[in-house]
């Protein structure tokens, strides 16, 4: 018997025939109808290289033999299938362990790790697979027709072929992983469940509990009802352009539940958020409403969870690998870097993005440099994988135009809020331009207001202003660990609420009770705080308007203002295009928050940024499907660059985690909540001062004089007088 797996502990064996057929059936089951036969063949051929005698010796004797087997299946395909099918499956099968390889070119040698190079290698005889496996016939024509559909030019065809390859690879690797885990008794049935019908009733009860007496509250209710009344429309991508304070988060979740329950083919909701700093707040909001009726998988780099039982950890680990969960909250980085990766550990989840409702919160923050592949990926997923997407934001670019220009021209896009007459009710503050101002004058002006938020562009600026402030003050930036940021936000909410209770309408607040928060832009997306006044350093218009969403959030105060300022100390050569266009809008529009201002801003931004938007288009990396650089493209596809995490021992738990890390026993996942981010040059500063060490691949702060829970990482030590 030819073996696929052998468990030395139990003596249990799995035949190669059984594993190949099991994987083929699982891959087929995971696939959409149009590609089921292709997915089946990928599973059937993926391990035929194990029919080599040396591989059988390795399995049966346990000898440490190095035997390449993945390429054999790719070589054998040419005997049975036409060019397109054979090529697509060759990428998948050759890379099913190491990752989809670069295509390379015809001159590559056997020493090259490209597909072209590997297909030239010689192997032992593995032809015995022909005696054991029933090889189905398959014409190229169905796959050609699928690939050609909706492709108006060769660039889209190239991108669609690459997307389809990654998708089949996902079906194959998840099937392979699941069957192997079952053999070794490692596969656990997912215990993550959701009662979607009950959850819809619960969110309805929650929304109906809000009173609608003020004009703003009535407008909020009217906008949400407009969304719900339009939710039955046929569409692939739905636009939810809702003003800040209109209840976007709950509205989008209810809309997603309604769409999911209308279609019994939908399996899950994936909520995708731009920043780690706000993801836990969103998860907590949903957990408070749905309680035990909706298990939520958080998948992002700072998630650590509260239940560390072995069973729960294994369940979460499995679900994060393949997203087999009913509700997932993740980040832009995790989502897009996964669907454009080449490794099985990330791509394995792609097929489970099918049959899903995707909600992109703060969709205007999709990175410009990756906007084309991001929109194209969403368009493919919603067009071909039976999924639907919601674009949710208060500052909506013209996504209909952008999707048609950079993704699929025939994507079916629906505006769920065509009537925007109620938007004017959400004008809770005025935007006033201060032009240039010194730090001293800014702080003097800030002291006049009972509660204020100062948002700046740089972490060092935030820290500098914080040290200059008097009275009750708080600081937020990614120089702080996520543990300290979370606790600081909780404290700010409590103190703001207490101040409102002690001083109704915030009248006659003494200077020692006035509250100031100084933050970087992390506070602008989804952090639910309400200030009487906001100061925003000039940046992109979307940043300014998002900061304005923290001002007079409930519309309780009259004459609330957002002051836009430029610091006399700031460098003009550091000014961005977004900064410049926002500056022009301040001069051109009396109200920069108007629909006309927002439209003008994005029109200029995207017309000028065409080259940057298409920077990572696949055509810039290759010209034909035989040479797609899957590996190189994945390594270049990084939404966030130059950020390095540093763990801080700031309490007993974190100290123990770092101590264990030194001994090779650390839980890196738990340590993430005690981590902050710095740039490469900042890490070098700390290295030069000998205050950081790398333990098992994790940078750790070794001198706590360089960290403060209120302001975060320091780059120079404290001075002591002895």
Predicted pLDDT of residue 574: 54
* Reported confidence tier of residue 441, pLDDT bands at 50, 70, 90: very high
pTM, entire model:
0.89
Q: Do 168 and 35 touch, CB atoms closer than 8 A?
A: yes
The rounded percent of the chain whose pLDDT value lies above 70 is 94
On the question of pLDDT at 308 being above 50, the answer is no
Question: What's the mean per-residue pLDDT of the chain?
Answer: 90
- Which residues are CB-contacts of 324 (< 8 A; sequence separation ≥ 6)? 190, 192, 318, 352
On the question of pLDDT at 324 being above 90, the answer is no
Least confident window among 28-42, 219-233, 295-309: 295-309
pLDDT tens digits, 135-160: 999 999 999 999 999 998 899 999 99
Instruction: State the Cα–Cα distance between residues 294 and 286, nearest whole angstrom.
Output: 8
- DSSP-based three-state secondary structure for 640: coil
Higher pLDDT, 376 or 607: 376
Q: Which of 535, 401, 422 is nearest to 469 (CA)?
A: 535
On the question of pLDDT at 121 being above 70, the answer is yes
Predicted pLDDT of residue 372: 96
CATH numbers and ranges of domains, the chain: 3-183 (1.10.3210), 196-421 (3.40.50.300), 428-592 (3.40.50.300), 643-713 (no CATH)
* Reported confidence tier of residue 302, pLDDT bands at 50, 70, 90: very low
* Reported confidence tier of residue 304, pLDDT bands at 50, 70, 90: very low
- Which residues are CB-contacts of 516 (< 8 A; sequence separation ≥ 6)? 446, 451, 452, 453, 454, 469, 471, 472, 473, 474
List Cα–Cα distances, 36 to 5, 29, 125, 129, 344, in angstroms: 26, 7, 29, 22, 19
pLDDT tens digits, 350-392: 999 999 999 999 999 898 899 999 999 999 999 999 999 999 9
Predicted pLDDT of residue 79: 94
Instruction: State the Cα–Cα distance between residues 228 and 256, nearest whole angstrom.
Output: 10
* Reported confidence tier of residue 307, pLDDT bands at 50, 70, 90: very low
* Reported confidence tier of residue 536, pLDDT bands at 50, 70, 90: very high
Question: If phi over 0 gives left and psi between -120 and 50 gives alpha, with beta otherwise, what is residue 566?
Answer: beta
On the question of pLDDT at 233 being above 50, the answer is yes
pLDDT tens digits, 167-217: 999 999 999 999 998 998 765 555 678 999 999 999 999 999 887 777 888
Instruction: State the Cα–Cα distance between residues 303 and 330, nearest whole angstrom.
Output: 10
- DSSP-based three-state secondary structure for 51: helix
Helix (H) or strand (E) run with residue 327 in it: strand 327-331
Mean pLDDT confidence for 329-354:
92
Q: Do 472 and 512 touch, CB atoms closer than 8 A?
A: yes
Predicted pLDDT of residue 43: 98
Instruction: State the Cα–Cα distance between residues 526 and 547, nearest whole angstrom.
Output: 10
Give the strands of the sheet with 413-415, arranged side by side: 296-299, 327-331, 268-273, 356-361, 388-393, 237-241, 413-415
On the question of pLDDT at 522 being above 70, the answer is yes
Q: Do 551 and 453 touch, CB atoms closer than 8 A?
A: yes
Mean pLDDT confidence for 494-520:
94
Higher pLDDT, 459 or 672: 459
Mean pLDDT confidence for 644-665:
91
Least confident window among 7-21, 343-357, 436-450, 655-669: 655-669
pLDDT tens digits, 442-451: 999 999 999 9
On the question of pLDDT at 127 being above 60, the answer is yes
Higher pLDDT, 424 or 350: 350
On the question of pLDDT at 305 being above 60, the answer is no
On the question of pLDDT at 394 being above 50, the answer is yes
């Amino acid at each position: 018997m030819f073996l696929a797996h052998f468990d030395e502990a139990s003596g249990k064996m799995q035949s190669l025939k059984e594993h190949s057929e099991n994987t083929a059936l699982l891959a087929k089951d995971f696939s959409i109808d149009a590609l089921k036969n292709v997915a089946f063949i990928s599973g059937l051929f993926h391990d035929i290289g194990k029919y080599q005698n040396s591989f059988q010796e390795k399995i049966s004797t346990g000898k440490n033999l190095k035997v390449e087997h993945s390429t054999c299946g790719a070589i054998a395909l040419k005997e049975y299938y036409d060019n397109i099918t054979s090529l697509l499956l060759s990428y998948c099968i050759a890379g099913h362990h190491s990752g989809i390889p670069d295509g390379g070119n015809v001159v590559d040698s056997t020493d090259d790790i490209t597909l072209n190079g590997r297909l030239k290698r010689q192997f032992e005889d593995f032809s015995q697979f022909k005696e054991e496996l029933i090889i189905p016939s398959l014409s190229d024509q169905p796959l050609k027709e699928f690939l050609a559909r909706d492709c108006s030019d060769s660039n889209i065809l190239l991108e669609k072929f690459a997307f389809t390859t990654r998708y089949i690879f996902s079906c194959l690797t998840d099937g392979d992983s699941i069957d192997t885990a079952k053999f070794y008794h490692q596969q656990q049935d997912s215990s993550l469940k959701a009662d979607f019908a009950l959850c819809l009733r619960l969110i309805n009860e929650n929304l109906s509990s809000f009173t609608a007496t003020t004009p703003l509250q009535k407008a909020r209710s009217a906008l949400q009802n407009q969304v719900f009344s339009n939710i039955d429309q046929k569409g692939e991508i739905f636009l939810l352009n809702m003003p800040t304070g209109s209840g976007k988060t709950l509205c989008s979740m209810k809309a997603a539940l309604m769409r999911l329950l209308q279609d019994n083919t939908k399996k899950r909701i994936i909520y995708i958020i731009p920043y780690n700093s706000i993801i836990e707040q969103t998860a907590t909001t949903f957990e408070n409403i749905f309680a035990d009726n909706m298990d939520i998988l958080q998948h992002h780099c700072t998630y650590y969870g509260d239940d560390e039982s072995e069973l729960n950890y294994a369940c979460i680990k499995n679900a994060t690998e393949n997203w087999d969960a009913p509700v997932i909250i993740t980040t832009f980085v995790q989502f897009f870097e996964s669907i454009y990766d080449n490794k099985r550990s990330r791509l394995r989840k792609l097929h489970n993005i099918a049959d899903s409702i995707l909600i992109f919160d703060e969709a205007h923050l999709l990175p410009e440099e990756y906007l084309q592949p991001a929109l194209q990926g969403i368009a493919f997923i919603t067009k071909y994988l039976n999924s639907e997407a919601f674009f949710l934001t208060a500052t909506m670019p013209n996504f209909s135009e952008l999707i048609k220009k950079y993704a699929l021209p025939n994507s079916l896009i629906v505006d769920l809020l065509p009537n925007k007459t109620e938007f004017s009710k959400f004008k809770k503050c005025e935007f006033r331009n201060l032009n240039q101002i010194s730090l001293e004058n800014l702080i003097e002006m800030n002291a006049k207001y009972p509660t204020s938020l100062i948002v700046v562009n740089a972490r060092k600026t935030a820290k500098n202003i914080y040290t200059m402030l008097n009275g009750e003050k708080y600081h937020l930036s990614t120089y702080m660990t996520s543990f300290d940021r979370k606790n600081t936000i909780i404290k700010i909410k409590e103190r703001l609420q207490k101040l409102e209770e002690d001083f109704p309408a915030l009248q006659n607040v003494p200077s020692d009770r006035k509250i100031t928060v100084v933050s970087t832009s992390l506070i602008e997306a989804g952090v639910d705080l309400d200030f009487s006044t906001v100061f925003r350093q000039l940046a992109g218009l979307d940043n300014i308007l998002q900061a304005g969403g923290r001002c007079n959030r409930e519309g309780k105060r009259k004459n609330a203002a957002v002051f836009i300022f430029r610091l006399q100390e700031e460098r003009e050569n550091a000014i961005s295009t977004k900064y410049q266009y926002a500056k022009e809008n301040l001069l051109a529009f009396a109200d920069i928050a108007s629909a006309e201002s927002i439209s003008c801003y994005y029109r200029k931004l995207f017309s000028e940024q065409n080259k940057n938007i298409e920077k990572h288009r696949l055509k810039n990396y290759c010209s034909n499907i035989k040479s797609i650089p899957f590996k190189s493209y994945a390594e270049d596809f990084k939404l966030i660059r130059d950020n390095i995490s540093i763990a801080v021992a700031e309490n007993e738990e974190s100290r123990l985690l770092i101590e264990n890390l030194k001994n090779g026993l650390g839980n890196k996942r738990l340590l993430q909540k005690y981590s902050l981010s710095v740039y490469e040059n900042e890490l070098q500063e700390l290295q030069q001062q000998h205050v950081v060490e790398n333990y098992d691949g994790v940078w750790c702060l070794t001198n706590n004089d360089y960290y403060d829970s209120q302001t975060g990482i320091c780059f120079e030590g404290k001075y002591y007088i002895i």
